Chains A and B, each alone.
Chain A
Amino acid sequence: AQKITQTQPGMFVQEKEAVTLDCTYDTSDQSYGLFWYKQPSSGEMIFLIYQGSYDEQNATEGRYSLNFQKARKSANLVISASQLGDSAMYFCAMREANNNDMRFGAGTRLTVKP
């Protein structure tokens, strides 16, 4: 069974600094995808970044990058140059190749301080 672990219930970061949100996962599949979503207080789920299990390069999307360490089964999200608008819940998720659904971690609430 899939399991996604986010050990940081809450994180604080100073505006303009970088922050790393942790995510570890457990799967016996070789092929899977890892996703990060942002959920502002409005409730919408915003897709941020994707990392495939076979991708050799760490994914990057603008200020978001993923520190993927396959052997350790970790897929940490790095947000550079934090902005006040980055304050939100962040969820790590995984989808195995043989499953159509996606499972989510418990989430991390990020607060960016001015």
Chain B
Amino acid sequence: GAVVSQHPSRVICKSGTSVKIECRSLDFQATTMFWYRQFPKQSLMLMATSNEGSKATYEQGVEKDKFLINHASLTLSTLTVTSAHPEDSSFYICSARSGVGQNSPLHFGNGTRLTVT
């Protein structure tokens, strides 16, 4: 089945530093990947849609200069949290579709738990 790999699974960084999270589709090509953010005991909120070879589409209220997305190949999208602050601490999870049909689900990575100290 379709597998999405996300790395790292957990990261702790100091305030002011940048953190890069990788999302890879292992056995399928993904022209589009999605980045979600989840606060404790809350739902997944779509942050941005990552498009291979073009600029990402950000949801309203998401700072594009803070959350840099690069989708340089059909199997890799990266999310960089720049100048991280404690309020950026959250669970970040990426996803992709392996098919184009209406019934094709999103396949998720295992998520990255970011803690900014």
Instruction: Tell me the A residues contacting B by CB distance below 8 Å.
Output: 31, 33, 35, 37, 42-45, 47, 50, 52, 91, 93, 95, 97, 100-107
Which B residues touch A43, using CB under 8 A? 91, 93, 110-111, 113
Known A105-B43, A107-B43: A45·B103 in contact at CB below 8 Å: no
User: A6 → chain B, closest Cβ, in Å?
Assistant: 8
B67 interface contact, C-beta 8 A = no
Mark interface residues in B97-116 (1 if CB within 8 Å of A CB, else 0): 10000110111101101000
Given contact pairs A37-B108, A45-B93, enumerate 18 new A-B contacts (beta carbons under 8 Å).
Answer: A33-B102, A33-B103, A35-B105, A43-B93, A43-B110, A43-B111, A43-B113, A44-B108, A44-B110, A44-B111, A45-B108, A47-B105, A47-B106, A50-B103, A50-B105, A52-B102, A104-B43, A105-B43
B75 interface contact, C-beta 8 A = no
Which B residues touch A31, using CB under 8 A? 102
Interface residues on B, range: 20 to 34
Rounded to whole angstroms, the CA-CA distance of A31 and B101 in the bound complex is: 12
B46 interface contact, C-beta 8 A = yes
Rounded to whole angstroms, the CA-CA distance of A75 and B105 in the bound complex is: 16
- Asked if residues B106 and A102 are in contact (CB atoms below 8 Å), the reply is yes
B44 interface contact, C-beta 8 A = yes
Rounded to whole angstroms, the CA-CA distance of A102 and B111 in the bound complex is: 17
Residue of A whose beta carbon sits closest to that of B34: A101
B49 interface contact, C-beta 8 A = yes
- Asked if residues B49 and A91 are in contact (CB atoms below 8 Å), the reply is no
B32 interface contact, C-beta 8 A = yes
Which A residues touch B54, using CB under 8 A? none
Known A43-B93, A52-B102, A100-B49: A91·B107 in contact at CB below 8 Å: no
Q: Which of B39-62 contact A (CB under 8 A)?
A: 42-46, 49
Which A residues touch B106, using CB under 8 A? 35, 45, 47, 93, 102
User: B83 → chain A, closest Cβ, in Å?
Assistant: 25
Rounded to whole angstroms, the CA-CA distance of A110 and B56 in the bound complex is: 35
Which B residues touch A100, using CB under 8 A? 32, 49, 97
Rounded to whole angstroms, the CA-CA distance of A33 and B102 in the bound complex is: 6
